Amino acid sequence: MIGLGTPALRLTAIVGEHEVWHHRPLYAEIVHRAHAAGLSGASVFRGIEGFGASSVIHTQRLLSLSEDLPVAVVVVDTEERVRGLLPQLAELVGDRGLVTVDRCEIIAYGTGDATGTDGGGAGGRG
C-alpha cells in the first residue's frame, strides 16, 4: 500500500505528441497500459519546446513550422508495479522516445476532492 514516506519510482516517458501506436496517440496508449496494469496514476504533460536525438528543435512559438511537441507521461508507484510496466514501454516507445526511472519518496498522496471524484494525476488512486 502506498502512503506518506513510501519509497517509490517515478517513470517518465518522453515522446513526440504525434507519435502513434495502432492509430492512437502513443502517450494515450502508455496511459491506458499503465491503467490496465493497475498503477496508481499517470499524467501527461505537453512541452512547449524541446529536441531529441534528431537535434531538430520543436516549439509552439507562433510562426514555427514544427508543432510535434514533446510530451512527458509521468507515473509514480511502487518499484514492483513500475518495473512490471517497463517491458511494455520498451515495445511501445522503442527508438521513438526516452524512458527514465528515478527513485523518489511519496510526500503527499491525494485521491480526489471532497466530492469523491478522482483528481487524476501521477499518483491519484481513486
CATH of the domain at 61: 3.30.70.120
pTM comes to: 0.78
Q: Whole domain around residue 63: which residue ranges?
A: 7-105
Residue 125 lies in a domain: no
Residue 13 lies in a domain: yes
Residue 18 lies in a domain: yes
pLDDT at res. 28: 97
pLDDT at res. 126: 44
Residue 77 lies in a domain: yes
pLDDT at res. 111: 67
Residue 114 lies in a domain: no
Residue 93 lies in a domain: yes
pLDDT at res. 117: 47
Cell numbers 509521468 correspond to 74
pLDDT digit string (tens) for the chain, length 126 residues = 666 788 999 999 999 989 999 999 999 999 999 999 999 999 999 987 777 776 666 666 655 555 678 899 999 999 999 999 999 999 999 998 999 999 999 887 676 654 444 545 555 544
Q: What's the domain count of the chain?
A: 1
